């Protein structure tokens, strides 16, 4: 793909400072910029690279003013990250997929495909599945009985969707994720064995959700495990049975939400966070990476950190004291020795 700086500026509704005819063939990082590429400057800590990068064009915020001469053409926009997202769509060609249904796909006669659905090689679609218009189902995907899939859905290679699950419109599910596997439900019998509790529910993924690779969402024991509209789940996440994830929530990699817990709307959960079962997290809560949430969070918009998680600012203050514990222990031993000396002096 080749595009000029002027054409990019028109796409992004930006202004140009420099050569509008600079030819761009792809993106690059600002520290590794090469001629013919476009890069961006959004984080101030990378500011120095704009004076040394060899990239032909740099995307910057409209209030950026260089402190000395620079070589690249600048495209000034209102919001670099938002503009970058738009721009990357133009450079992202994606994985190729055949038009229509591949000859190696196995599709039950009762399944229904919408207009312009693309079904890749070795896809298996079981009885009474419905798939909406403009779906893109990549190779080796398994779709179980009675699954419902909406319009404009993209399902990448190796995804497994168990029976009765519901996938909304414009959902993206990345490679090797599993939707609707059994929840972790067992009852211990008198003889010490574990008896499996049937998991009779399903998973409902609402519109505009994106799910990363190797994420697992368990079906409900009764009812539905639900991922709310617009939620974004990273790679390697475990969502247990009957969990409810609110609209617009974002969860980073390696986090786990235990059974029957509720995560509110617009919550942000960092990587490797653990949430115990049967609790509720209020709307807009932010949880720092590697935290453990052991009880319900009722305050809307609160910020948590630590294990068990507490108020973010309280944790930082506590940690500041924690780092000083060796020095404080030394001071305490010194004071104890001085007190002992004073007491010994009184006895004499």
- 3-class secondary structure, 205: strand
- 3-class secondary-structure state, position 42: coil
Spatial distance between the Cα atoms of 14 and 342, rounded to a whole number of angstroms: 76
Q: Which of 118, 133, 163, 241 is catalytic?
A: 241
Burial of 312 (0-12, 13-18, 19+ CB in 10 A): middle
344 SS3 class: helix
Measured CA to CA, the distance from residue 182 to residue 146 in angstroms comes to 16
Q: Kindly report the CA angle at 231 between 228 and 237, in degrees rounded to 5? A: 105
Maximum separation of any 2 CA atoms in the chain, in Å: 102
Q: Please confirm, yes or no, whether 241 is among the known catalytic residues.
A: yes
List the Cα angle 213/89/73 in 5-degree steps. Answer: 130
Half-sphere exposure of 109 (CA within 13 A, CB side): 0
| Dihedral in degrees, nearest 10, Cα atoms 171, 176, 180, 184 | -140
Q: Which string of DSSP letters, residue by residue, matches 110-160? A: T-EE-TT-EE-TT-EE-TT-EE-TT-EE-TT-EE-TT-EE-TT-EE-TT-E
Quick one: CA dihedral 26, 32, 38, 41, positive or negative? Answer: positive
User: Distance between CA 219 and CA 54 in Å, rounded?
Assistant: 51
Q: Which positions are annotated as active-site residues?
A: 241
């Amino acid at each position: 793909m080749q595009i000029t700086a002027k054409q990019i500026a028109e796409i992004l509704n930006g202004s140009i400072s420099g050569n509008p005819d600079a030819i761009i063939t792809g993106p690059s990082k600002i520290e590794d910029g090469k001629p013919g590429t476009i890069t961006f400057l959004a984080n101030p800590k990378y500011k120095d690279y704009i004076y040394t990068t060899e990239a032909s064009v740099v995307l910057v915020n409209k209030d950026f003013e260089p402190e000395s001469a620079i070589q690249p053409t600048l495209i000034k926009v209102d919001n670099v990250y938002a503009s970058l997202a738009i721009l990357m769509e133009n450079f992202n060609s994606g994985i190729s997929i055949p038009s229509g249904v591949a000859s190696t796909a196995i599709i039950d006669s009762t399944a229904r495909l919408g207009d312009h659905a693309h079904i890749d090689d070795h896809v298996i679609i079981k009885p009474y599945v419905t798939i909406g218009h403009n779906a893109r189902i990549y190779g080796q995907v398994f779709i179980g009985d009675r699954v419902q899939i909406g319009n404009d859905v993209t399902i990448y290679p190796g995804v497994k969707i168990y029976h009765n699950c519901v996938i909304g419109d414009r959902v993206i599910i990345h490679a090797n994720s599993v939707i609707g596997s059994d929840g972790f439900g067992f009852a211990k019998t008198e003889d010490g064995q574990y008896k499996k509790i049937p998991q009779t529910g399903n998973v409902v993924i609402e519109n505009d959700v994106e799910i990363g690779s190797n994420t697992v969402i368990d079906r409900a024991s009764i009812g539905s495990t639900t991922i709310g509209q617009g939620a974004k789940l990273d790679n390697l996440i475990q969502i247990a049975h009957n969990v409810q994830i609110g609209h617009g929530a974002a969860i980073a990699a390696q986090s786990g939400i235990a059974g029957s817990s509720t995560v509110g709307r617009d919550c942000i959960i960092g990587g490797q966070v653990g949430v115990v079962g049967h609790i509720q997290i209020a709307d807009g809560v932010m949880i720092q990476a590697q935290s453990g949430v052991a009880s319900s969070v009722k305050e809307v918009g609160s910020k948590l950190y630590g294990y068990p998680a507490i108020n973010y600012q309280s944790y930082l203050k506590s940690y500041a004291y924690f780092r000083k514990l060796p020095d404080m222990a030394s001071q305490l031993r010194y004071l104890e020795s001085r007190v002992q000396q004073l007491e010994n002096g009184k006895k004499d």
